[in-house]
Chain A
């Protein structure tokens, strides 16, 4: 008998008392009812609590803010489908000699990514209550590797993409995409439970919330 048949057989035998699958009581909150200002405030508060840096700006100011944050980076990577407007205007050098484009069609190698200082991505959805940003691999967020290997992640969250609580957020995304949920920068509490920000993932997380 194959292991599969045998294990399924064992499980069926173990359930010979025919337990009934109960109704799932879903009396927990499924919506938060918060307005946009409250969502922005809550998300910023939670992210700052995780030691992420947060700036809340008007959509028109996003390019300038990105330029400011990239000022110290020798090089940075962006997904090929990033909103072009975010990387143009004052502060952004024409053509972008420091800029690397990445896509599934033309991916950078891991070694190349390791030599790059920063990454700029968009985001799919954010959860205000838990300070969580969800990337789903769409064209403006790119492959999972680009938001992982460079040490500084600059992430743009559109106000319209902020959900109040987790159930609201998960209902807005396709669960079969390659998903990464980010709540603050990389962190550990393994030594005497003292939280240290930054281990293997990006040690610096900048979130730009665009109104």
Chain B
């Protein structure tokens, strides 16, 4: 077939830190063994959950704000090409320069090139999911450029050569003593008398970064929102490290996913009410900076924005999954997720953990991407994430949808039947006839032998082994229900009497007793 020019083939998937290196069940199994992690996460998620509920309850119009937020984002997706062009025009008119990046590699190369043009080899960074997604810090390091993370939690993670485990509080898996030890070990000039008091640790970070802020010529940031009708960008933060990066350097390079747009200034009133309460459980975050291109004499005079696709158009192409792009990265879904609470963020493999990560990552990389295809199963489908999502992303429905896409994508690709296929075939054979099932059930009491004296089966062979990996199976009863029923309902001439209701219950009780360990 000849190449059809003009219309790019779809979908084009993203690259970078979106791919898990191992399957979720495998990673989760390992992380579950970390009792410290579980204790930290349990405490953290419970605390934010409670704060969030309190702050949400304060607003009488919370549901109306969610409705508006959801509709605005749906409208952004429907009008994305038009809004991007409008934003570009406004941003450029105000002295900004826009760069478009198809994938992680292209975005990294653009940012490195822009930094190189300034002659600098050090940059300060404000926490950015987009730059984590493309692996910018690692790439810059290869290019001889050092990127200093300035958000306290990102700094902790960076100093410890670790990975973030939560999108809002990336070092939530570490407690204060671990953080003190990291500072003592990795922070040049750290006071050896450093205590593990969070206030003392925050001050240590302040003095460590102060000179960097005051002398940095180049900063790299992400953006929370971009307003199409004015070309305005917004960064929402708490510590002032964002303001430092957005104000003091001469050059600011912002990396942002194409989906972050909002159509108008008015829409900001909705999202600035939804975001802080959903994420940190505060009425408002301490600092928000908004800038529209270059302001003479105030702030950076060279303004660059890298607009990133990296799999977002692929996610957009999935009519059912596209609403995952409505995400405003508040992290409310992970704080209510029973699966995230136990496994932590690292188990999800990608930059985006938790329920949103379980849909966003496979949508951006394609469900066929090895290991990411296990993510849609990393859920109990309890629906708590849908309830918590400020822009009403129906995560459970998208999870189910992606599971079906995963199953469909595997259909017909396997030549040798798997254990599951054989098992399903056998089950279908057995369940399709009462006689066959009865025959098979005769074998059930054998399970009691396998269970042994504690009446528990702790290890099954073959595909069933997965089931017993994290739970025991009680020994089967000494007879099947069908056998019991047949015995109880013997024709009057064959038995002593027709069993009364009392007889049945007495019998059930005795049978239950027998089965108790």
Seen from chain A, the residues whose Cβ lies within 8 Å of a Cβ on chain B are: 1-4, 6-15, 17, 19-29, 46, 49-50, 103-105, 107, 110-111, 114, 127, 129-132, 137, 143-145, 148-149, 166-167, 170, 175-194, 196, 198-202
Residues from chain B with Cβ under 8 Å of A143 in the complex:
297-299
* B469 at the A interface (CB under 8 A): no
CB-defined contacts of A188 to chain B, threshold 8 Å: 152, 202, 238-239
Give 9 A-B contacts (CB < 8 Å), ordered by A residue. Answer: A8-B85, A24-B72, A24-B267, A29-B64, A110-B215, A175-B227, A175-B268, A188-B202, A200-B240
User: Which residue of B47, B202, B265 is within 8 Å of A199 (Cβ)?
Assistant: B202
Task: Say yes or no: is B248 at the interface (Cβ < 8 Å to chain A).
Answer: yes
Q: Hey, which chain A residues are within 8 Å of B223, CB to CB? A: none
Please encode chain B, from 35 to 72, with 1 for each CB lying within 8 Å of some chain A CB and 0 for all others: 00000100110011000000000001100110110011
A194 in complex: contacting residue of B150, B198, B209, B298, CB < 8 Å? B198
A202–B286 Cα distance when bound, in Å, is: 11
Main secondary structure of the interface of A (DSSP, over half): loop
**Minimal beta-carbon separation of B305 from chain A (angstroms):** 12
**Within 8 Å CB of A179, what residues of B?**
288-291
Q: Tell me the residues in window 234-269 of chain B with beta carbons closer than 8 Å to chain A beta carbons.
A: 238-241, 243-244, 246-248, 258, 265-269
Given A17-B319, A23-B71, A24-B72, CB of A167 within 8 Å of CB of B299:
no
A190 CA / B85 CA spacing, docked (Å): 37
Q: Say yes or no for B176: interface residue by CB 8 A criterion.
A: yes
Partner of A50, one of B267, B268, B286, B290: B286
B202–A191 CB distance below 8 A: yes
Q: Kindly provide the distance from the CB of A20 to the nearest chain B CB, expressed in whole angstroms.
A: 6
Contact B71 A13 (CB under 8 A): no
Q: Which 9 A-B pairs have the closest CB atoms?
A: A201-B240, A104-B297, A14-B317, A10-B313, A200-B240, A190-B153, A199-B239, A130-B284, A14-B316
Q: A192 touching B152 by the CB < 8 A rule? A: no
The answer to whether B201 and A191 have CB atoms under 8 Å apart is yes
Docked pose: A50 CA to B266 CA in angstroms? 26
Most buried by A among B12, B205, B267, B269: B269
Least CB distance from B468 to A in Å reads 36
B273: chain A residues at CB < 8 Å are: 28, 166
Interface centre among A3, A14, A104, A186 (most CB of B within 10 A): A14
Task: Evaluate contact between B60 and A29: CB separation under 8 angstroms.
Answer: yes
User: Which A residues lie within 8 Å of B199 (CB)?
Assistant: 196
Alpha-carbon separation in the docked complex, A2 to B85 (Å): 15
Q: Known contacts A9-B7, A20-B78; is A144 also within 8 Å of B243 by CB? A: yes
CB-contact partner of B241 in A3, A4, A22, A199, under 8 A: A199
A50 to B280, CA, bound (A): 13
A14 & B198 in contact (Cβ 8 Å cutoff): no
| CA distance in complex: A4, B101 (Å) | 8
Question: A190's contact among B171, B246, B298, by CB below 8 Å, is which?
Answer: B171
Expressed in whole angstroms, the minimum distance between the Cβ of B99 and any Cβ of chain A is 8
CA A150 to CA B261, docked complex, whole Å: 33
Size range of the chain B interface in the assembly: 35 or more
Taken together as a complex, chains A and B put the C-alpha atoms of A38 and B449 apart, in Å, by: 76
Interface centre among A1, A12, A201 (most CB of B within 10 A): A201
- CA distance in complex: A194, B72 (Å): 34
A12 and B79 alpha carbons, distance in the complex (Å): 9
Evaluate contact between A191 and B241: CB separation under 8 angstroms: no
Q: Give complex CA distance A130, B156 in Å.
A: 30
Bound CA span A50–B78, Å: 39
Identify B288's interface contact among A23, A111, A180, CB under 8 A. A180
- B100 and A3 contacting across the interface, CB-CB below 8 Å: yes
* A27 lies within 8 A of B64 (CB): yes
In the complex, B448 has a CB within 8 A of chain A: no
B296 neighbours in A (Cβ, 8 Å): 104
Question: Could you tell me the distance between the alpha carbons of A131 and B284 in the complex, rounded to whole angstroms?
Answer: 8
Q: Across the interface, which residues of A come within 8 angstroms of B84, CB to CB?
A: 8, 11
A202 proximity list for chain B (CB < 8 A)? 240
Given contacts A181-B290, A200-B244, 5 further A-B contacts (CB under 8 A): A14-B316, A114-B214, A178-B299, A185-B286, A196-B199
Tell me the minimal C-beta distance from A2 to chain B in angstroms: 7
Distance in angstroms between the alpha carbons of A107 and B40 in the assembled complex: 46
Contacting A at CB under 8 A, from B1-46, are 6-8, 10-12, 40, 43-44
Is A190's CB under 8 angstroms from B169's CB? yes
B45 to chain A, nearest CB (A): 10
Contact A27 B307, beta carbon cutoff 8 Å: no
Q: Contacts A6-B8, A179-B290: A192 and B241 contacting too (C-beta < 8 A)?
A: no
> Which of B48, B100, B198, B270 interacts with A7 by CB under 8 Å?
B100
User: Which A residues touch B268, using CB under 8 A?
Assistant: 170, 175
Assuming A22-B75, A186-B240, A193-B44, is B68 touching A28 (CB within 8 A)? yes
Bound CA span A178–B43, Å: 39
What's the nearest-Cβ distance from chain B to residue A199, in Å? 4
Residues in B whose Cβ lies below 8 Å from that of A132: 284
B307: A residues at CB distance < 8 A: 7
**Is B292's CB within 8 Å of the partner chain A?**
yes
Residue of B nearest to A49 (CB): B283
Residues of B close to A15: CB separation below 8 A? 77-78, 80-81, 316
Considering the complex, which residues of chain B in the window 308-322 have a beta carbon less than 8 Å from any beta carbon of chain A?
Answer: 309, 313-314, 316-317, 319, 322
* Interface residue? B455 (CB, 8 A): no
Contact B247 A144 (CB under 8 A): yes
CB contacts (< 8 Å) of A191 on chain B: these are 152, 171, 176, 179, 198, 201-202
B284 proximity list for chain A (CB < 8 A): 127, 130-132, 181, 183
